[in-house]
Amino acid sequence: MNRSSTIKRLLKEMTGKYKAILVFVFLFILISTTANIAGSFFVRRLVDDYISPLLLSDAPEFTGLLKALFTMASIYLAGVLATFLYNRMMIIVSQGVQRKIRDDMFAHMQRLPISFFDTHTHGEIMSRYTNDIDTLREFFAHSLPQMLSSVFTIIIVTAAMLVQSIPLSILVFFFVFVMLYVTKKIGKRSAVSFMKQQKYIGQLNGYIEEMISGQKVVKVFCHEEEALEDFEKKNEQLRSQAATAHSLTNILIPITMNIGTLQYAAIALLGGAMALGNVGGITLGTIAAFLTLSKSFSAPIGQISVQVNSVIMALAGAARIFELMDEDVEVDDGDVTLVNAKWEDGKLVECDCHTGLWAWKCPKEGGAVYTQLTGDVRLYDVNFGYTKGKNVLDNITVYAKPGQKIAFVGATGAGKTTITNLLNRFYDISQGTILFDGIDIKKIKKSDLRRSLGIVLQDTHLFTGTVMENIRYGRLDATDEEVIAAAKLAGAHDFITRLPKGYDTVITGDGGNLSGGQRQLLAIARAAVADPPVMILDEATSSIDTRTESIVQKGMDSLMHGRTVFVVAHRLSTIKNADAIMVLENGQIIERGSHNELIEEKGRYYQLYTGSFAK
């Protein structure tokens, strides 16, 4: 994204809701700037009309001088008040724009495909919500109003100086040209460094996030020193780039100050010579006013130079934010929806209340057609690869009749979990067809498809909140009684009641105060309360010990009763009662059949099963 388009989008975000406030901001900036310049312009009158005559008077009268000073103080007071008001208003605009950008970014992130999160670290994404947003706060709250004030000041002071003296104005313009030339050269080099700095911040945050989440693994393998060494390398990259960026911008301040000092001396010298030579009507008051105006002219140039740092960082952060917001969202062309249904006069009709009977609503000309959700799932000649030209699954064909339990077994990387990812359309197949009750799943809206599937993943994730709230996450309108019933079904009720506050016990840190098995039981209960017609269990008992497994298995059997179930399991003892077992190897189904049939064949399943029990 180029800089001009980034600026346009930032201004669009700012003007969208705050046009009225910004009008007042511009007005108060103009008042503040005009007041400051008017005060400087008033110096000439003060010196020539009041102070000089008083110096030559034998009986000085200070009434006029005091009135002039009061008028001057009133002008400056108006400027101070206007400055206070526009800064307060810009804080309101700044915080409001940041809130909107965060809301838009988070809303867009919810619509991104799983593949985006597979290719971006959590820390790198988080840095856009923290570091990059913070650069916008500095830009909106301080840099932007300061730069607007500086621009207005430059315009008004230019006009005022030209009125006072054209020769002295030309001298000021010469020094300003030198100042701008230096600023441009340094700013151009620092812009590249600030872009790299923001990139390295994201990479460092991503590494820190990985180390925090994998701290146990680091300690188990005693890799603390290696982790520290890698961190120091990445941190040094950031330090080096940040040092380059900030050193370039920091030298702007002394450079512009010294150029301003030289300008001040040159004006005093040239103005004094012109006054002594009575050239151009230059008076002592004119020189005093012009010196004040020249500082008012040079100061904004220096302030803009200083703000280059914040502006470049803000543009770099905004570019990264807009980059995320421009990521392609998950495509959903489906129009078939899932609805509650009931039988009425022998026909399936839609209803608002939960009946336990679900139907697919297919829009057709002349009215919708309803198909009962039975859980008939079929895959025909499915091919899929995460990267183009490299298939993970080849010609997968699976039939799952309503109420059947289908198990997938095989070595790690064989493609078992990939099949479940295709069923809920985390990814779309490359070739083939997947039918759900005779409907191509590409025609079903993704949200409705996923609502029909209860999923228990190998890696459980719990949210900060009570046990009750975590289980209810499966169905937000579930009553307390339904939550407790789901926990009993999953075999989680017993351990929950032994927690300090039972179902009101707060879970923190992704369930850090629970064992791995307990977290898995809550995940199973969460799926149970959703009461889905189809279940996907991806290594659902992998974190449960043998004793707990027997308890859970009873609940699982009750949970699976009457539902179509897909099971991915390494513990082959949990799938002995499956209606069909698919053995995968290198993305292909090499064996299929019941447990007994596959044992009799003494093929790959036999080797896996007997090997797992030989220990």
CB atoms within 10 A of CB 517: 20
Do residues 454 and 532 touch, judged by C-beta distance below 8 A?
yes
Do residues 110 and 103 touch, judged by C-beta distance below 8 A?
no
Does position 240 have pLDDT exceeding 60, yes or no?
yes
Domain range 3-325, CATH architecture: Up-down Bundle (1.20)
- Calpha distance 300→148 (Å, rounded): 10
Kindly state the average pLDDT of the residues 245-273: 76
SS3 for 414?
Answer: coil
pLDDT in tens, 137-158: 888 887 888 888 888 888 887 8
pLDDT of residue 441: 92
CB atoms within 10 A of CB 544: 24
Do residues 147 and 7 touch, judged by C-beta distance below 8 A?
no
Does position 614 have pLDDT exceeding 50, yes or no?
no
Helix (H) or strand (E) holding 221: none
- Calpha distance 383→419 (Å, rounded): 10
pLDDT band at 590 (very low <50, low <70, confident <90, very high): very high
- Which are the contacts of 405, defined by CB distance < 8 A and separation ≥ 6? 560, 564, 565, 567, 575, 577, 578, 579, 580
pLDDT in tens, 424-433: 888 888 899 9
- φ/ψ of 432, rounded to 5, equals 100, -165
- Cβ-in-10-Å burial (0-12, 13-18, 19+) of 430 comes to middle
Domain positions in the chain are 3-325, 337-372, 377-613
pLDDT in tens, 574-588: 788 888 999 998 889
Any idea which of 111-120, 160-169, 516-525, 543-552 has the lowest mean pLDDT? Answer: 543-552
- Calpha distance 437→201 (Å, rounded): 49
pLDDT of residue 615: 43
- Calpha distance 17→592 (Å, rounded): 61
pLDDT band at 220 (very low <50, low <70, confident <90, very high): low
pLDDT of residue 44: 65
Q: What is the mean pLDDT of the chain?
A: 81
Q: How far is CA 543 from the centre of its chain?
A: 31
If one compares 283 and 117, the residue with the highest pLDDT of the two is: 117
- Provide the token pair at 283: 């008076």
DSSP 281: T
Q: At residue 251, what is the residue type?
A: I
DSSP 328: P
Kindly state the average pLDDT of the residues 167-181: 80
Greatest mean pLDDT range, 244-248, 262-266, 532-536: 532-536
Do residues 145 and 90 touch, judged by C-beta distance below 8 A?
yes
Q: Which CATH number fits domain 377-613: 3.40.50.2300, 1.10.940.10, 1.20.1290.10, 3.40.50.300?
A: 3.40.50.300
- Provide the token pair at 150: 């500086």
Nearest to 161 by CA among 302, 298, 303, 255: 298
If one compares 230 and 509, the residue with the highest pLDDT of the two is: 230
Does position 612 have pLDDT exceeding 60, yes or no?
no
**Same CATH topology for 3-325 and 377-613?**
no
- Calpha distance 568→325 (Å, rounded): 35
If one compares 215 and 392, the residue with the highest pLDDT of the two is: 392
Do residues 599 and 606 touch, judged by C-beta distance below 8 A?
yes
pLDDT in tens, 478-505: 889 999 988 888 888 888 999 989 999 9
Any idea which of 436-445, 543-552, 588-597 has the lowest mean pLDDT? Answer: 543-552
Kindly state the average pLDDT of the residues 281-291: 71
- Calpha distance 144→146 (Å, rounded): 5
Q: At residue 244, what is the residue type?
A: T
